[in-house]
Amino acid sequence: MNMIANHPPTSELQALDAAHHMHPFTHAGELKDKGARVIARANGVTLTDTDGNDYLDAMAGLWCVNIGYGREEMAEAAARQMRELPYYNTFFQTTHVPAIALANKLAQLAPDTLNHVFFAGSGSEANDTNIRMVRTYWAQKGHPEKNIIISRKNAYHGSSMGSGSLGGMTFMHEQGGLPIPDIHHIDQPHWWAEGGDMTPEEFGLERARQLEAKIEELGADRVAAFIGEPIQGAGGVIIPPSTYWPEIQRICDKHGILLIADEVICAFGRTGKWFASETLGIRPHIMTIAKGLSSGYAPIGGSIVCDEVAEVINNCEFAHGYTYSGHPMTCAVALENLRILEEEGIVDNVANHTAAYLAKKWATLGDHPLVGEASTIGMMGAIQLTPDAERRAKFAGNEGDVGLITREHCFKNGLVMRHVGDRMIISPPLVITDAEIDTLVERAWIALDLAH
């Protein structure tokens, strides 16, 4: 029986959805038989579907609901701003109070000289902004040929033409003409899968030095920037060896290459600091932000830009922007989100308690016979599924089959956990309690048992 009021029965909703709704990253044709899961409401870390089933959301939606679901203050902030000024743009020498306040707040929170914000509607849009901004920066400085951006295989930076090109996911590049010209990719620092006989530290250096080799191959006078997620998220929560980022930083500094940290997943407390660049000691010229900026309550993204780059960009008309750049309602919602994160000490609590508790509990999954590695950093985690942990072996057959099976058992068991190939990944709301972490790990263990 359909237990949620005011909705048609789930089967009817699923049929309507399959008939008319085109989903992102979905083989939508399969939904005709299977039907999508229809989520009706959420509170704290718990999702409820239209049949009344509860799920512990270990993914915080798509890595974004940092403050958890169901916060009334967020709804009130949105409604207040909609009544006051529902829309105005920030083009053509105009501005408004929420955009000013949010840009100022972000400049306060961001490290070093990252003092300037260009707003967008999403992470993809923000990374498109970054492509045009770094190329414009060098062109303004008299080096228009310095336009190549180096990224990494298996990176995810969005799915627009620009951001999808920065990303290094081959299955995306096979559709629709990606990548655009002058984007190059080096290998990712994924020690478990690709490290061979090297120690993680040796491997981190080896992978970082691919950047130097690529710069030398292309010519430093042609390379504008390097972009990387501090911790690759959608690629499988790949925590780089400790040697990796310091070496990347050294190489960018030495060759005069701008460094873009894509913090779309990692910022706003995810690693126990406001930005993962602080956690990992990265000094970027630009940070991409989205997701946790509004905890997903409203769509917003942006680029936080250092003084040096902003000064050059602000010296010309940067012919770029989106109708919803600095949208008043989304800015008001993001400000409220930052207030909650700050005043409730949520980021500090991750650093002082929750990340360590999650790490301890998550590590116990490493004892499961199907698991080769169980790792976390802050409130992100992964387990690597393997038939033989000792040899770091892969399953025969299609990569991802066991991950898919495990994920389905998670759903049946009231847990939303994602799989990327044979890695199971989590990124729960930062407000998850110890008891909820216990439940998460118990349900994950049961799913692993059923998949084994």
Enumerate binding residues for ligand PLP (CB under 6 A). Answer: 62, 122-124, 127, 156-158, 229, 233-234, 262, 264-265, 290, 301
∠ CA 263-268-274, rounded to 5°: 90
C-beta separation of 186 from 153 below 8 A: yes
Q: Rounded distance, CA 114 to CA 346, Å?
A: 23
Which residue's beta carbon is nearest to the bound ligand PLP?
123
Q: How far is CA 244 from CA 189, 224, 425, in A?
A: 7, 20, 22
Tell the smallest beta-carbon distance from residue 122 to ligand PLP (Å). 3
Helix intervals (H) in 297-354: 307-313, 328-343, 346-349
Tell the smallest beta-carbon distance from residue 295 to ligand PLP (Å). 13
Closer to ligand PLP by Cβ: residue 57 or 229? 229
Tell the smallest beta-carbon distance from residue 288 to ligand PLP (Å). 6
Residue 439 neighbours by CB distance under 10 Å: 17
Report cis status (omega within 30 of 0) of the bond before 179: yes
Helix intervals (H) in 141-281: 161-166, 170-173, 191-194, 200-218, 244-255, 276-280
Tell the smallest beta-carbon distance from residue 369 to ligand PLP (Å). 31
Closer to ligand PLP by Cβ: residue 301 or 378? 301
Tell the smallest beta-carbon distance from residue 390 to ligand PLP (Å). 32
C-beta separation of 369 from 111 below 8 A: no
Tell the smallest beta-carbon distance from residue 152 to ligand PLP (Å). 11
C-beta separation of 56 from 438 below 8 A: no
Q: Rounded distance, CA 193 to CA 189, Å?
A: 9
Closer to ligand PLP by Cβ: residue 380 or 447? 380
Closer to ligand PLP by Cβ: residue 123 or 421? 123
Tell the smallest beta-carbon distance from residue 123 to ligand PLP (Å). 2
Tell the smallest beta-carbon distance from residue 269 to ligand PLP (Å). 16
Q: Read off the amino acid at residue 83.
A: R
Closer to ligand PLP by Cβ: residue 25 or 92? 25
Closer to ligand PLP by Cβ: residue 98 or 158? 158
Closer to ligand PLP by Cβ: residue 299 or 372? 299
Closer to ligand PLP by Cβ: residue 74 or 287? 287
312: tokens are: 């050059």
Q: Largest Cα–Cα distance of the chain, in whole Å?
A: 67
- Residues 6+ positions from 216 with CB-CB distance below 8 Å: none
Strands 39-43 and 114-120: unpaired
